[in-house]
Structure 1
Amino acid sequence: MKQWLIVGILALFSANLAHAADQMRMAVTTSFHNSGLAEVLLPEVVRDLDLEVQLLVVGTGQALRLGRAGDVDAILVHSRDAEEAFLAEGYGTHRREIMYNDFVLVGPSNDPAGIADAETATNALQDIAAAGAGFVSRGDDSGTHKKELALWQEAGLDADTFGPWYRAVGAGMGAALNTASGLDAYILSDRASWLNFGNKSGLELLFAGDPVLFNQYAYLPVNPARHIHVKSDLAARLEDWLTSVRAQALIDEYRIDDETLFVFNAK
């Protein structure tokens, strides 16, 4: 059985949802799931819509592949270029922005590369590379991984040429953060996953606030013209709910240690 299916089923059971009249499948990013927001939203979807949303928790790249294959009814991801390619190929009906947060650079509290004093995110990465300080990459074609690679490129650096200080783990956000914690290494994370991460150990949030680290999440229904079996009616009902005042309150009020994890911006 494929790993994404196992993870998705576990995610579904962990939400402790009551049986609902209708069911649909949605691929979501590991960063969204690791934030804990799914456990807030999904029970309310059951109560309000009598709709059970089965999550397949994967990186953005895999979520888009599941959409292309018609294995899910909708996806919730965070990599605009990849999303627009998905739409251009005819696999999605449209793209609806739901909420945003930001990416942050996390690393050892003693900050051997001195990134806390960097002026920009690319400067911070240049400092890490110059110091040869340990860096953990998700390496999984996720939205976070795509963003990290784009930042290295903007910094004039090619991750394929890096030495052993750079470690691509091919794993989700939680597992990658655990690896960074164990190695006392730097890592790019979305803010929500970092705030909800329980094994911070000697890691700290060292750099944030550069506009280039903006992180938009969008909802894309799979096109029934490509896959006639997809439940486009249920995907539309979920979209209406995700963009409602009800969802806005739940998203904006979700906090950890009095810090906001996501900001609703659906239009």
Structure 2
Amino acid sequence: HGGTGIAIAAGQKGDVDLLIVHDKAREVKFIQDGDGLERRCFAYNYFYIVGPADDPAKITGLNATEAFQSIMENGLTEPDQVKFITRGDQSGTHSKEQSLWKAAGYNYSEVNTSGPWYVDAGSPMGATLIMANEKSAYTLTDMSTFMAYKGNLTLVPLIEGGDELLNVYSAIAINPEKHPGVNCRLANDFIDYLVSAECQEIIGTYGQEQYGKPLFFKGEDSCDVMGCSAEECVVPTQAGCAEA
């Protein structure tokens, strides 16, 4: 297990039977390259932009791209007060962060080398949140990891919700024609379970008791919200596996 980048690399080598990932552009390319069969959307939540409660970059009330602009502008002029921690690990969250910098009008390679305000954690989400907390810095996080860690953090969500911060989870079975060693039938059976009414109910309530709100929203009847095509929401999975 690991971030989307690690998962896709494993899928490209045929080391796994299916992927559960959250980076549509790379998922589509993975399928176009012949490594995966079909993309199935099954759950979603949102990314948060979190930071210190005193919000030195004054991003509260802005949208996500405006927030990134303000963080960079203030980070460049006051790097001791305003910092941003990036995962820097080619995960789905890191890809989302890069897309937000682009939407804010910046070239990511320039952001990445623009000064001490921008700190590369090179770490998974939990470790990145802990580093951001220690440095009283901003970061982009998925909602579920933040909820799981927030009891140990002083960081607070400053920007949440909205289409810009939508986070869609999908499953892709590995193509057995390109990777003959994979268990395609088992992968599709598991994907069919993910989109089943039984599993969707589990997804839609998971975390409610412990955290006071579910960590994910079920994909069932939410195809439009997730921005997925009708084909990506078909139940059960349509992709056939080559006959043994």
Residue 123 of structure 1 aligns to which amino acid in structure 2? Answer: E
Q: Secondary structure at the match of 1:259?
A: coil
- The structure with more strand, counted as a fraction of residues: 1
Say how many residue pairs are matched.
Answer: 210
Aligned match of 1:137: 86
Q: Does 1:73 align with 2:17?
A: yes
Among residues 257, 261, 267, which one is paired with 2:211 in the alignment? 257
Q: Secondary structure at the match of 2:38?
A: coil
Measured after TM superposition, the shift of residue 199 of structure 1 is 5.3
Among residues 237, 242, 250, which one is paired with 2:189 in the alignment? 237
Contact 2:64-2:159 at 8 Å conserved across structures = yes
Contact 1:181-1:203 at 8 Å conserved across structures = yes
Aligned match of 2:37: 93
Matches within 5 A, 1:100-249: 100-118=44-62, 120-132=63-75, 133-158=82-107, 159-198=111-150, 200-249=152-201
- Superposition TM-score, scaled by structure 2 size: 0.83
Residue 106 of structure 1 aligns to which amino acid in structure 2? Answer: V
Quick one: structure 1 residues 160 and 201, their matched pair in 2 at CA, closer, same or farther if it must change by over 3 Å? closer
> For each residue in 1:203-222, what CA deviation from the matched residue of structure 2 results, as whole angstroms up to 9, or x when unmatched?
11111123111110000000
List gaps (5 residues or longer) in structure 1: 1-56
Residue 191 of structure 1 aligns to which amino acid in structure 2? Answer: M
Of stretches 167-176 and 135-144 in structure 1, the one that deviates more from structure 2 is 167-176
Measured after TM superposition, the shift of residue 191 of structure 1 is 0.6
Root-mean-square deviation (CA, aligned residues, Å) is: 1.2
2:114 and 2:213 mapped to 1: Cα distance? 35
Q: Percent identity?
A: 39
Quick one: structure 1 residues 59 and 202, their matched pair in 2 at CA, closer, same or farther if it must change by over 3 Å? same
Residue 74 of structure 2 aligns to which amino acid in structure 1? Answer: A
Q: Secondary structure at the match of 1:148?
A: helix
Residue 192 of structure 1 aligns to which amino acid in structure 2? Answer: S
Q: Secondary structure at the match of 2:36?
A: coil
Contact 2:50-2:141 at 8 Å conserved across structures = yes
2:8 and 2:103 mapped to 1: Cα distance? 25
Residue 87 of structure 2 aligns to which amino acid in structure 1? Answer: R
Aligned match of 1:4: none
2:48 and 2:150 mapped to 1: Cα distance? 17
- Superposition TM-score, scaled by structure 1 size: 0.76
Of stretches 142-151 and 234-243 in structure 1, the one that deviates more from structure 2 is 234-243
1:177 and 1:186 mapped to 2: Cα distance? 9
1:201 and 1:93 mapped to 2: Cα distance? 40
Residue 16 of structure 2 aligns to which amino acid in structure 1? Answer: V
Residue 202 of structure 1 aligns to which amino acid in structure 2? Answer: T
Q: Secondary structure at the match of 1:241?
A: helix
Measured after TM superposition, the shift of residue 131 of structure 1 is 1.0
List gaps (5 residues or longer) in structure 2: 76-81, 221-232, 234-244
> For each residue in 1:196-246, what CA deviation from the matched residue of structure 2 results, as whole angstroms up to 9, or x when unmatched?
115543211111123111110000000000111101111011111111111
